[in-house]
Structure 1
């Protein structure tokens, strides 16, 4: 799963694809049906790639990408508008070590909504780039000495 170009913006619902940058900020395209483009200024909005988002865990924080991968393996998700108990039971299956006191039902709803947006995207089926891949690419670009 390679979700590096997908971002969440504080204060804006849904997910966005990062498509460029200009003087005013980053150019984003919404991933809903309307595919609207907008510019986000980082001085007034916070933006995070899905690759960088974590969920509170009992020990270490859990990577959102790993949780989304387990959701993909599970195949079905509850409706994000389901009651809190249904959402929590589902989340216990896909993120068993999450901190139930600090991860709220609203967080679970948002993660399920995000999953429903991205599950059909080609990026969702791509492999995540690893540091070994980056090293190989760097070696290929510089050539053999």
Structure 2
């Protein structure tokens, strides 16, 4: 899964693809149907790549990419975003066993499901991540 260029922006719904950089900040393209381009200034906005996002775990943090891989296998049906909290929690126990239920809220689970629904059809989702660069 190669989701390196995909980011979440604090305060903005959805996901974005990092497509460039200019003097004002980073140029992003929305991944929804509108394909809107915008520039964000990192001094006032926080961004996180999907590869770097983790979920609170009881013993150790769980990588978002690992959760997406489990969701991708299709062993569990993905609930509707309007499902009740118990349904969402039960689903999340299956795809992220060992998550800290006191620190991962229903709103977090809904966000992860909505992100998955956005990226599941993208070619990057099935592409292998590039190997890390070796330092000499």
TM superposition shift of 1:81: 1.6
TM superposition shift of 1:80: 1.3
1:92 aligns with 2:73: no
TM superposition shift of 1:59: 0.7
Structure 1 residue ranges, 4+ long, deviating more than 6 angstroms after superposition: none
Q: Quote the residue 2:13 is aligned against.
A: 13
Q: 2:113 & 2:97 partners in 1: Cα distance?
A: 16
Alignment TM-score, normalising by the size of structure 2: 0.95
Q: 1:80 & 1:72 partners in 2: Cα distance?
A: 17
TM superposition shift of 1:114: 0.1
1:52 aligns with 2:87: no
Gap runs ≥5 in structure 2: none
TM superposition shift of 1:86: 0.5
Q: Quote the residue 1:82 is aligned against.
A: 83
Residues 93-131 of structure 1 show CA distances to partners (whole Å, capped at 9, x for unaligned) of 000110000000000000000000000000000112233
Q: 2:61 & 2:125 partners in 1: Cα distance?
A: 22
Task: Say which structure is richer in helix.
Answer: 1
Question: Is the radius of gyration larger for structure 1 or structure 2?
Answer: 1
- Greater shift after overlay, 76-85 or 48-57? 76-85
| Secondary structure of the structure 1 residue equivalent to 2:89 | helix
- Would you say how many aligned residue pairs link Structure 1 and Structure 2? 135
| Secondary structure of the structure 1 residue equivalent to 2:51 | helix
Gap runs ≥5 in structure 1: 140-145
